[in-house]
Amino acid sequence: MRIDMYELKPSRFPIVTLLHPREYTRFVVATVALGLLLGWLAIEQLGWPLWGATALMLVLLLAPGVAKWRADARRYGLTAMGVSMLLAAQGFHSVEHVAQWIQFHMLNWSARDSTGLLSPANAEWVHFVWNWIVLIAVLCLLRGGMRNIWTWLLLAWALAHTLEHTYLFSRYLAVVADLRQMGLTDVTAQGLPGVLGRDGWLARSPATQNTFLCRLPGVTTATRLDVHFWWNAGEMSLLLLAAHCYLPSVLSAARRSRRGEPHDHSAEHAE
Residue 11 within any structural domain of the chain: no
Residue 206 within any structural domain of the chain: yes
Q: Does residue 269 have a pLDDT over 50?
A: no
Instruction: Give how many domains the chain has, as a whole number.
Output: 1
Residues 246, 146: Cα–Cα separation, whole Å: 6
Distances (CA, A) of 112 to 89, 103, 127, 172, 192: 24, 11, 16, 16, 11
Give the residue among 212, 217, 175 at the shortest CA–CA distance from 193: 175
Residue type, 133: I
pLDDT tens for 64-108 read 999 999 999 999 999 999 999 999 999 999 999 999 999 999 999
Q: Which domain holds residue 170?
A: 79-265
Residue 235 within any structural domain of the chain: yes
Give the residue among 115, 110, 142 at the shortest CA–CA distance from 126: 115
Residue 174 within any structural domain of the chain: yes
End-to-end, the C-alpha distance of the chain in Å comes to 29
Using H for helix, E for strand and C for coil, what is the string for 188-216? CCCCCCCCCCCCCHHHHCCCCCCCHHHHC
Name the CA radius of gyration of the chain, rounded.
Answer: 22
Note the pLDDT of residue 267: 42
Stated pTM of the model:
0.89
Residue 65 within any structural domain of the chain: no
Confidence of residue 265 (pLDDT cuts 50, 70, 90): very low
Residues 234, 156: Cα–Cα separation, whole Å: 11
Residue 250 within any structural domain of the chain: yes
Residues 204, 4: Cα–Cα separation, whole Å: 59
Residue 259 within any structural domain of the chain: yes
Residue 1 within any structural domain of the chain: no
Confidence of residue 35 (pLDDT cuts 50, 70, 90): very high
